[in-house]
Amino acid sequence: MDKKKPKKVFVQGAVPPEKIAQSIANHQSKTNIGAHSIFLGQIRADEVNGKTVSAIDYSAYEEMAEDVFHEIREAAFSEFDITCAHIYHSLGKVKTGELCLFVFTSSAHRKIAIDACNYFVEEIKAKVPIYGKEIFGDETHQWKKNS
């Protein structure tokens, strides 16, 4: 059981697709798993007043964020019968089209994996002190607000 071990969540820059393949492949020896649910956040090229977002520069209150990620994990493992859960979030600059968030939950049954994945995504957005500076093509910026 890896559920108690605090895990490093932050990665520098974008989450590469190969990391996702590797995480999935790592679970093929766990034959009590029947379903995986994955959520990926990707940087959108939003338009604001005629300017287009080209990247988001993420920063965080890292020490507190790692504590909160750990609390969210603990709560998820007590609420959902999941076999494992992995979260990765970017710090630093992530360009449009690249991935900034990777949530991965596994369970014997699909509904549990899916519900737990959604729980992580909502909790992360609501409770973790992470900030994103949306950088436009002309080098100006604005601060991202979650909807």
Partner 1 sequence: MKVTVKYFGIIAETAGKKEEILDVTQGMSASELKARQIKTYQIPEAESVQLAVNRDLNTEVELKEGDEVAFLPPFAGG
Where does this chain bind partner 1 (CB under 8 A)? 41, 58-61, 63-64, 67, 89, 100-101, 110, 121, 124-133, 143-146
Amino acid letter, residue 119: Y
Least CB distance from residue 75 to partner 1, whole Å? 16
Using the minimum distance from each CB to a copy of itself, give the nearer residue, 14 or 65.
14
Interface contacts to a copy of itself, rule CB under 8 A? 17-18, 20-22, 24-25, 27-45, 96-99, 106, 108-110, 114, 118, 121, 147
Query: Token pair of 97, please?
Result: 């089209």
Least CB distance from residue 6 to a copy of itself, whole Å? 26
- Write out the H or E segment, with its range, that includes residue 20: helix 17-25
- Residue recorded with tokens 């994990």: 73
Supply the Cα-derived Rg of the chain in whole angstroms.
16
Q: Are 35 and 107 in contact (CB under 8 A)?
A: yes
